[in-house]
């Protein structure tokens, strides 16, 4: 769905929002072993278990752990002397919960949203039509990101009112527009984008373009983008 249509969709279950309101649907009894996998404990139910009835995914080390779901998408996870526990580690958060209470994670998400914590509405890796970016570090007056641009894709022609940017190419071939200058960069080359200068980043290679972006300035929010031209018709 396009952005406007998707945003206008109510937040609810398909049975309430659609099936209870249509006269064009039918229900047929069937035994298909269905699970909507709506919680971490449900993932434990359906996934492969080891000899101790643990589901282990990622870099995980266990000692005397049984009946648990242990997953690491980031650092090494070590667990000792646990039963019927769910532990999930990602790059920006760690969840520890009793297996029978994992559906209550929604209350944590609601608390994030109430407290306006970024974990409630975004991930470390943010996908865009041209690729993705991922936050690496941030502090007073600076922010560091990893940027991945798909082959043949380019970001909008834009400028920022409050921040400058340093781009260091890690791999791939970049074409950079900075003011009236257009030039190419490859691995181990870099450039500087001053505050208020119009600029654009483009991947002119056949492989993903990877670079490190260091932002500096008084304000580093994502809404400090003024787009002058955009392939994806964003404003």
Q: What value does the mean pLDDT take over residues 167-181? A: 98
The region of weakest confidence among 4-13, 65-74, 117-126 is 117-126
Average pLDDT over residues 42-50: 93
Average pLDDT for 1-15: 86
> Phi, psi (5° rounding) for residue 113?
-65, -40
């Amino acid at each position: 769905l396009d952005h406007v249509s998707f945003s206008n969709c109510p937040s609810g279950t398909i049975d309430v929002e659609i099936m209870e309101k249509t006269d064009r649907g039918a229900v047929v009894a069937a035994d298909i072993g269905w699970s909507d996998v709506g919680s971490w404990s449900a993932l434990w139910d359906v996934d492969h278990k080891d000899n101790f009835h643990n589901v282990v995914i990622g870099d995980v080390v266990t000692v005397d752990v049984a009946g648990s779901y242990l997953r690491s998408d980031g650092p090494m996870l070590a667990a000792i002397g646990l039963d019927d526990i769910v532990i999930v580690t990602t790059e920006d958060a760690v969840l520890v919960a009793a297996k029978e209470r994992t559906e209550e994670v929604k209350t944590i998400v609601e608390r994030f949203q109430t407290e306006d914590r970024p974990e409630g509405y975004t991930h470390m890796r943010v996908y865009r039509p041209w690729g993705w970016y991922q936050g690496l570090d941030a502090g007073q007056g600076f922010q560091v990101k990893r940027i991945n641009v798909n082959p043949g894709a380019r970001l909008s022609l834009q400028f920022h009112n409050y921040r400058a940017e340093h781009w260091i190419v890690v791999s791939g071939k970049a074409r950079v527009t900075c003011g009236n200058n257009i030039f190419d960069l490859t691995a181990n080359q870099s450039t500087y984008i001053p505050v208020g200068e119009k600029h654009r980043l483009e991947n002119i290679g056949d492989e993903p373009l990877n670079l490190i972006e260091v932002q500096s300035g008084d304000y580093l929010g994502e809404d400090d983008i003024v787009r002058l031209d955009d392939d994806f018709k964003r404003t």
